[in-house]
């Protein structure tokens, strides 16, 4: 009996030793890879005083390892020849006005595009399905969420029809956002010759029954048709985006973008990088025709993510905020800004800029919504106008700065989008595009109620406590 007890003690001691060793390795990793002292101190304190289960939680949520993605990105971009047609459509004059966007995106503004705002789900998917039906060469499809519901099956039908017509089709989804997507849905596409992959399917670090790198997600939404027409924005593939989810009501307010012209081809490079990370395979796309200008809008396609050498997304948006002189209108369903972004917004308000932030009245993710309330109340105290959209659930991601620039994409105003997720944003500067975004947002503001300082002051102590407690989770929301 004593021998058995001693053996068990040795096993227990070995397990304790292994856990402390793992915690030490995680602590070293956090020190070497740290970007914010607040987050790192939190991890280090927890690893020191509660190594179990913190070490295992850190492996899932804190261990960032995208060196191989960065190498893939570098190799693809260096190996890609720049054609004379592309050089001719580079808009250097616009680029000179936005040097930070050029540096953070690693891409130029391209001239001659025709953007079209797509308001809400029906208009968006009507346009996407029409674009797919017209494809002659290839279709690239990427969404954070794809559901096996009426809309998801309609997408599958459209893709299968084109695949049978000889069009090459690739579909990429995020493992977390699409975790409910059944195998049968994917196999149906594969049986028709369509290439289908999950973003983290090849990276099995700590993966047992599913993807365990849950903190780093590919949040991009992209459809590219023949390298000529691209779609991106806030919508995923699910009937809730058509307003068919009862708890959100009949209106799911979202914005997507149809972009035709030379800038559309930029999406192909971004998709190829994501696909190679996901599968280890490089996509060879049919050669595109000469890049033709179809409109008057310069556009820059910016892809950002945790593999970036610098904090590209946060730097880009902070720079835009700092340049605002007349107005800065921000629309985001999730508003959990970090210290730098909050400071930039406060400074803009102090300069006399008309700073407006439009947020949803209803929550879809409760913890994020509660934290967002705490940040929104602070904005009101600093003279920033907070509007709550009341006509349904608000999910669009749009920014308008002065009469100079607008953006439409997948980026939310939170640390997850700025530092953790893979995201995509289109920046545009044409006056006609800016006017279209302005008109759209003015219509949205008409469906909002403004939060005033009196409402903030009368919140109960319990409400303030709950909001502030949720705010503590801001770095990982």
Please tell me what DSSP assigns to residue 239: G
pLDDT tens for 276-306 read 988 989 898 877 666 788 899 999 999 999 8
Choose the catalytic residue: 203, 375, 395, 467: 395
Q: Look up the CATH superfamily of 67-90+114-292.
A: Endonuclease Chain A (3.30.870.10)
pLDDT tens for 148-203 read 999 999 999 999 999 999 999 999 999 999 998 999 999 999 999 999 999 987 76
Q: Is 395 a catalytic residue?
A: yes
Tokens at 236, concatenated: 């995923």
Q: Is 157 a catalytic residue?
A: no
Q: Is the dihedral angle over the CA atoms 462, 468, 472, 477 positive or is it negative?
A: positive
Which H helix or E strand runs over 173?
strand 168-173
Domain boundaries of the chain, sorted by first residue: 2-61, 67-90+114-292, 312-476
Q: Is 375 a catalytic residue?
A: no
pLDDT at 309 over 90: no
Q: What percent of the chain lies above the pLDDT cut of 70?
A: 86
pLDDT tens for 385-429 read 999 999 999 999 999 999 999 999 999 999 889 988 999 999 999
Q: Look up the CATH superfamily of 312-476.
A: Endonuclease Chain A (3.30.870.10)
CA–CA dist 467, 470 (Å, integer): 5
Kindly report the pTM of this predicted structure.
0.87
Same fold, 67-90+114-292 and 312-476: yes
With beta carbons less than 8 A apart as the criterion, state whether 440 and 427 touch.
no
Choose the catalytic residue: 296, 340, 364, 402: 402
Please tell me what DSSP assigns to residue 361: S
Choose the catalytic residue: 91, 174, 226, 274: 226
Average pLDDT value for residue range 4-9: 60
Q: Is 403 a catalytic residue?
A: no
Q: Is 397 a catalytic residue?
A: yes
Choose the catalytic residue: 91, 397, 414, 467: 397
Residue-averaged pLDDT of the chain:
87
Choose the catalytic residue: 203, 219, 228, 467: 219
HEC states along 377-441?
HHHHHCCCEEEEECCCEECCCEEEECCCEEEEECCCEEHHHHHHCEEEEEEECCHHHHHHHHHHH
pLDDT tens for 236-257 read 999 999 998 877 777 899 999 9
Choose the catalytic residue: 148, 175, 203, 221: 221
Tokens at 469, concatenated: 């407690």
């Amino acid at each position: 009996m004593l021998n058995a007890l001693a053996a068990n003690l040795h096993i227990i001691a070995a397990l304790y030793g292994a856990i402390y060793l793992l915690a030490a390795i995680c602590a070293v990793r956090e020190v070497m890879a740290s970007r914010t002292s607040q987050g790192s101190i939190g991890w280090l304190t927890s690893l020191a005083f509660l190594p179990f289960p913190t070490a295992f939680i850190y492996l899932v949520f804190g261990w960032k390892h995208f060196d191989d993605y960065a190498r893939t990105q570098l190799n693809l971009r260096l190996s890609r020849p720049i054609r004379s047609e592309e050089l001719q459509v580079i808009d250097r004059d616009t680029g000179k006005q936005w040097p930070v966007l050029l540096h953070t995106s690693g891409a130029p503004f391209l001239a001659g595009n025709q953007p079209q705002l797509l308001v809400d789900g029906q208009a968006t998917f009507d346009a996407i399905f029409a674009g797919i039906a017209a494809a002659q060469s290839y279709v690239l499809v990427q969404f954070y969420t794809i559901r096996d519901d009426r809309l998801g099956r309609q997408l599958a039908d459209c893709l299968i029809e084109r695949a049978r017509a000889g069009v090459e089709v690739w579909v990429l989804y995020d493992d977390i956002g699409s975790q409910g997507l059944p195998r049968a849905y994917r196999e149906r596409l594969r049986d028709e010759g369509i290439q289908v992959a999950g973003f983290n399917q090849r990276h099995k670090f700590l993966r047992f029954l599913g993807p365990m790198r849950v903190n780093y997600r590919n949040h991009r939404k992209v459809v590219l048709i023949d390298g000529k027409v691209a779609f991106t924005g806030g919508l995923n593939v699910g009937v809730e985006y058509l307003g068919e989810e009862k708890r959100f009501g009949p209106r799911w307010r979202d914005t997507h973008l149809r972009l035709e012209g030379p800038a559309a081809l930029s999406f192909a490079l971004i998709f190829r990088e994501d696909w190679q990370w996901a599968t280890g395979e490089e996509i060879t796309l049919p050669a595109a025709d000469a890049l033709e200008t179809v409109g008057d809008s310069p556009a820059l396609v910016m892809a950002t993510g945790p593999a970036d050498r610098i904090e590209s997304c946060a730097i880009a948006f902070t720079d835009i905020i700092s340049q605002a002189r007349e107005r800065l209108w921000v629309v985001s369903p999730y508003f959990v800004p970090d210290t730098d972004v909050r400071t930039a917004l406060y400074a803009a308000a102090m300069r006399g800029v008309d700073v407006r932030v439009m947020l949803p009245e209803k929550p879809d993710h409760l913890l994020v919504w509660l934290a967002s309330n705490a940040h929104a109340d602070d904005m009101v105290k600093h003279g920033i106008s907070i509007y709550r959209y009341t006509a349904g659930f608000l999910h669009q991601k749009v920014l308008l700065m002065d009469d100079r620039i607008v953006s439409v994409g997948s980026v939310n105003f939170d640390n997850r989008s700025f530092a953790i997720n893979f995201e995509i944003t289109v920046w545009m500067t044409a006056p006609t595009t800016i006017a279209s975004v302005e008109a759209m947002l003015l219509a949205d503001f008409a469906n909002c109620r403004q939060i005033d300082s009196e409402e903030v002051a009368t919140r109960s102590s319990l409400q303030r406590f709950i909001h502030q407690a949720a705010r503590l989770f801001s770095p990982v929301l």
